[in-house]
Structure 1
Amino acid sequence: MSSEALWALGRGNGIVALAFMTISVSLGIATRSGRPLVALPRFAVADVHRFVALAAVLLVGLHMGLLFMDPYAKLRVIDFVVPFLGKYRPLWQGLGTVAFDLLIIIIVTSMLRKSLGLKAFRVIHWATYTLWPIAMAHAIGNGTDAFRIWFLAFAGCCALIVTASLGWRLRANFTEYAGV
């Protein structure tokens, strides 16, 4: 596979991963709200959330693997773990590393959910509220398509979806706030 193909596939997977992360975060917010979403009951929203989150993780892994094999990106193994050491746009690449590190923590704690207990799991899982904007900043700052109209529209839609989900959750009639 040519390096141009690796670069294009790596970029494309990063963009699709951001879309899946956006959907996952929004569904996670919706699941936590205690309300059904459109025609789906709460348990179905939770199942879709888990499926989309798993797909996002796989897409992030593919994004990183393809760019690791690409000679233009010049990624090293350490760049996946230690942020801000990268050769290409170290700040923006480092934010991608921070997002990946947070993603690993969220994956591990999700797998240990029953052992950790619900309260500890929720506290750690709140890291997704920082993971998503960090991943978005990585996409905008490190992406070679960052200033193209289509990408700005895509990023704007992602931001709008997450913002709308948060607004929906924070409304006064939020189920958990009903007794307050």
Structure 2
Amino acid sequence: MSEYLSVWTLIRASGFLAFYFLTLSLIIGLFSTYSIMKKKKAALLSYHQTSGWYGMLTIIFHIILIWRDQYVPYSLSDLLLPFHANNKPLYSALGTLSFYLFFIVIGSSDFFIKKLGIRKWKKIHLTVIPAWIFMLVHGLAIGTDSSKSWALVIYLTSSSFVILLLFIRIMESIMSKQTPRTKELKR
């Protein structure tokens, strides 16, 4: 197998690709909640779901590749049980926990939203934030390319963008809650 198609290269590429898709899904999800995006909400929701599923499938591919890798051996239990891996157990566990949280969010969104109801679903959906943070820390701490400048730029840029969008979303939520009170006070 060539150097570019080695298991090692595919593990690294699938990790970054999963990070890309799930970051994209998070960003689109945040955009879709903004009041100025109401007319584009249906299209954004479709992109949000699609990128989320691509991210989930890429994580599964990433896990399978790690399981089959001979250089740093992981058993299936190392990959599926948090804190069970011998190699960097904390950071491996964050990857595993991130996978489970993303799985719960995507599964509940696509298969159980009606059974859960919108309130429960929203609470579950918010776990995407810790899932994304766990994924980020996992990639930074255990990824072999994390010390390279191009990887740091990817992590720093995406983190900054997500933080900015979360801040804007929180501010918009606070302002929308204050607006009705302001109207009542003026009466």
Instruction: State the distance in 1 between where 2:63 and 2:145 align.
Output: 17
1:70 matched to which residue of 2? Answer: 69
Are residues 1:161 and 2:164 paired? Answer: no
% identity of equivalent residues: 26
Q: Show structure 2 runs of 5+ residues with no match.
A: 182-187
Q: Does 1:13 align with 2:14?
A: yes
Structure having the larger proportion of residues in helix:
2
Aligned to 2:40: 41
CA-to-partner distance for each residue in 1:121-154, whole Å, 9 max, x for gaps?
Answer: 1111110011001100000011011111111111
* 1:41-85 deviation line (CA, Å, top 9, x unaligned): 111111111111111111111111111111123121112321111
- In structure 2, the residue matched to 1:119 is 119
- Greater relative contact order (Cα < 8 A, sep 6+): 1
CA shift for structure 1 position 2: 7.6
Aligned position for 1:130: 130
The CA distance in 1 between the partners of 2:173 and 2:141, in whole Å, is 37
Aligned residues of 2:34 and 2:172 also touching (Cα < 8 A): no
Q: Is the CA contact 1:81–1:97 (under 8 Å) kept in the aligned structure 2?
A: yes
2-side partners of 1:127 and 1:173: how far apart? 18
Distance 1:174 1:68, change over 3 A: same
CA deviation digits over 1:96-139, x for unaligned, max 9?
01111212222331221111111111111110011001100000
Partner letter of residue 91 of structure 2?
W
Q: Tell me, what secondary structure is at the counterpart of 2:14? A: helix
Contact kept? 1:83, 1:98, Cα under 8 Å = yes
What is the CA RMSD across the aligned residues, in angstroms?
2.2
Unaligned runs of 5+ in 1: none
Which runs of 4 or more aligned residues in structure 1 lie more than 3 Å from their structure 2 counterparts after TM superposition? Answer: 1-4, 172-180
Distance in 1 between the 2:113 and 2:122 partners? 9
User: Rg larger in 1 or in 2?
Assistant: 2
Letter in 2 for 1:55: Y
Output the CA distance in 1 between the equivalents of 2:85 and 2:94: 11
Letter aligned with residue 112 of structure 2: L
Give the TM-score of the pair, scaled to structure 1: 0.89
